[in-house]
Amino acid sequence: MKHHYQTMQAPHLIIIGGGFAGLELIKKLNNKPIKVTVFDKHNYFNFQPLMYQVASGGLGPDAIAYPLRKIISGMPNIAFRMAEVQRVQTERNEVMTSIGTFSYDYLCIATGAQTNFFGNAELEKYSMQLKSIPDALDLRSDILQEFEKALNEPNSQTIERALNFVVVGGGPTGVETAGALAEMKKNVLPADYTELDASKMQVHLVEAAPLVLAAMSEVSSRKAKQFLEDLGVHVQVNTSVQKYDAVTGELFLSNGTVLKTDTVIWSAGVKGKTIDGISADVITRGNRYKVDAYNKIEGLSNVFAIGDIAYMETDGAFPNGHPMVATVAQQQGRLLGKNILNMVSNKPLKPYTYLNLGSMATVGRHKAVLEVFGIKMQGYIAWLGWMFLHLMLLVGFRNRVVVFLNWVWNYVSYQRAIRIITRPFVQKQ
């Protein structure tokens, strides 16, 4: 039997966010006896793990974004509205959005995370981040603009400042971005900017912890650092960023080093993206909503949070909440889908426990670290595994084909095909 959104008489679920978590929830509720409205301020799903490749010109944005309307087309009980949810009124069961007010029986908040600058206003204003596709396009433009600028700089100090790139944060995003920049130094700069001395470009990675990729095993972390250093990246661990002076371009590090740079790429932390109207009492560590084992927000009977925005302490192995990764978001989305259907039909609910499938990061050509199903690999095989798994995880057949063809092209040509400035980056003043 088909359940039609416009005509069906059924409980109404509003989902805020069509990311990793929201998407799995939607899929679980396809053609089920519940009316679903999905709100997202973008009309696409963003595959964030490959965003650094958009920033470094290896992929175009359309390769990692997928239209949300295409995903829900053919799902008769689900509707999409492109709108920003501005406020939730839990006492009235309503959400206020940029296109009006909507009421719900159940609400699921799947808004993900935003960059955490830990209160450093200067860095928030002047550093580049990698949290959305516009951010990735800004960074791509900025990198290429710095190359163009360096050509016209009058002296070696200003050339160095333009060609010094500092990545802050040695998690997967920081490591992958630093590796991609190092490959641009090796392959793009000498080919496209023959008038520039490519050795002047320097890539720095600054990490406050003693290791990069601290969430992985020590052997993977050490190997990733070695891969980065083999590519010429200056890795500084046990070092944090203290302040940035955008006028002089000086970046002050805790170990006393001062780097001169026009480009600071901030990937040192994220925090939950909360929505006004939910009591501050339930916002906890990492700016996330405290949820019970069924992803229900504490103190609210019909409001749930899943993915990066959810903080759960009930899973024995993760007393300080789950890592903010795509697998957790997807698993919580799928389980909440089942639990909502159980709720509607008065069946018992199942608590969430994280099934950790592993993690991985690539540093560059033939260089990756991979830990899946308890197997640890580094180097060429890990790099092939990394590519295969990312191709499988992408949403949509077209995106897989586009990414695969781009990778083949980049591999044989040693280039980053999409090194174009389509929307110049203008620094906020």
User: Which residues are annotated as catalytic?
Assistant: 176
Rank residues 48 and 159 by Cβ distance to ligand FAD and give the closer one: 48
Let me know if 353 is exposed, middle or buried by CB neighbors in 10 A (0-12, 13-18, 19+): middle
* Least distance from ligand FAD to the Cβ atom of residue 67, Å: 12
d(CA 418, CA 336): 39
d(CA 67, CA 44): 4
* Single-letter code of the amino acid located at 363: V
CA nearest neighbour of 312 among 320, 324, 302: 320
* Least distance from ligand FAD to the Cβ atom of residue 388, Å: 14
CA nearest neighbour of 305 among 117, 138, 88, 137: 88
* Least distance from ligand FAD to the Cβ atom of residue 292, Å: 18
Residue 311: phi, psi to the nearest 5?
A: -120, 115
* Least distance from ligand FAD to the Cβ atom of residue 158, Å: 30
Q: How far is CA 371 from CA 36, 168, 326, 358, 429, in A?
A: 37, 24, 15, 5, 43
* Least distance from ligand FAD to the Cβ atom of residue 18, Å: 5
Strands (E), 148-305: 164-168, 202-206, 234-236, 241-245, 250-253, 258-260, 263-266, 270-272, 283-284, 288-291, 303-305
Structure token digits, residue 68: 């949300």
Q: Is the CB of residue 69 less than 8 Å from the CB of residue 40?
A: no
* Least distance from ligand FAD to the Cβ atom of residue 200, Å: 27
Q: Which residue is nearest to ligand FAD (CB)?
A: 19
d(CA 369, CA 237): 18
Dump the DSSP string for 349-394: P--------EEEEEEETTEEEEEETTEEEESHHHHHHHHHHHHHHS
Q: Is the CB of residue 388 less than 8 Å from the CB of residue 58?
A: no
CA nearest neighbour of 418 among 429, 289, 428, 407: 407
Rank residues 242 and 287 by Cβ distance to ligand FAD and give the closer one: 287
Chain mean position to CA 152: 34
First to last CA, the chain: 57
Rank residues 133 and 241 by Cβ distance to ligand FAD and give the closer one: 133
User: By the criterion CB under 6 A, which residues form the site for ligand FAD?
Assistant: 16-22, 39-42, 48-49, 51, 84-85, 110-112, 130-131, 172-173, 273, 275, 307-309, 324-327, 329
SS3 202: strand
* Least distance from ligand FAD to the Cβ atom of residue 52, Å: 6
Question: What sections of 231-314 are H helices per DSSP?
Answer: none
* Least distance from ligand FAD to the Cβ atom of residue 46, Å: 6
